[in-house]
Structure 1
């Protein structure tokens, strides 16, 4: 399910948005900076400062993860189930590898949120659907660079 295209989109995204639901039914969406594809069926998210997300996953494992390349304005929405793997769990070292590689010494990873993928849908900026003849990745990049006041690297 996590195809090479999804892996590449994850690598281009600086944040993912992790949606959970509390025991009382209250939705919570939280940005996550350290996340990675793990295999074809799982992605992993570092619990760096996420007590609400962890608490919510413990009471309701249904989650949604989305990520978008802000320049191309494309990404993916992943629906799945999550479980929390604490630092002292026997399989922690199995799951934390790709996260530790990204986090380095900058962040302490308290636990790993492992998401089992149930479905994946593409996310596209509305311009791709509403104006397909004139909307290209290049035009979206140019528009985003203008909006953010940035220029391509030399």
Structure 2
């Protein structure tokens, strides 16, 4: 749904419990369905689920590590369980990404509010660098020699 989200293969979901204790966990199965909604598969997310039940305020970071940029999406999460009517349709959309390899326990729906850009410090410190420069440097830093 956004140019940034098109390049992301992993996002991070930040939650906090009722006392404010934070938790951040990677999520590999997600869809940015509209600018205002992200669906995330609960595959192995017991702490994220418990936190959302206590405090629905979340933050999702979507970063393309090779482009060194992305987006921070703040919002409110809700849990859709298998016994709820809309679970089947939402689960089917996420299951296409899993190719049947994972069981989805809940769909985490994030209603997106404020969105802000995330940029590595190099974007600010070296404003003349291009995206190609940033990508080339990231590939060298992470020792990636070939990408599909």
- Range into which the TM-score falls when normalised by the shorter chain: over 0.9
User: Does residue 140 of structure 2 align to residue 142 of structure 1?
Assistant: no
Task: Tell me how far apart the structure 2 counterparts of residues 15 and 47 of structure 1 sit (CA, whole Å).
Answer: 14
TM-score (norm 1): 0.90
CA distance in 1, matches of 2:35, 2:118: 19
**What secondary structure is seen at the aligned counterpart in 2 of 1:44?**
strand
Equivalent position of 1:70 in the other structure: 65
Distance in 1, matches of 2:34 and 2:130, equals 30
* Runs of 5+ consecutive residues of structure 2 not aligned to the other structure: none
RMSD between superposed Cα atoms in Å: 1.4
Deviation sequence 1:60-111 (CA, Å, 0-9, x none): 0000000111111110000000000011111112322331111121111111
The residue aligned with 2:14 is 19
- Structure 1: give runs of 5+ residues left out of the alignment: none
Runs of 4+ that moved beyond 6 A = none
Scaled by the length of structure 2, the TM-score of the pair is 0.93
CA distance in structure 1 between the aligned counterparts of 2:38 and 2:91, rounded to whole angstroms: 11
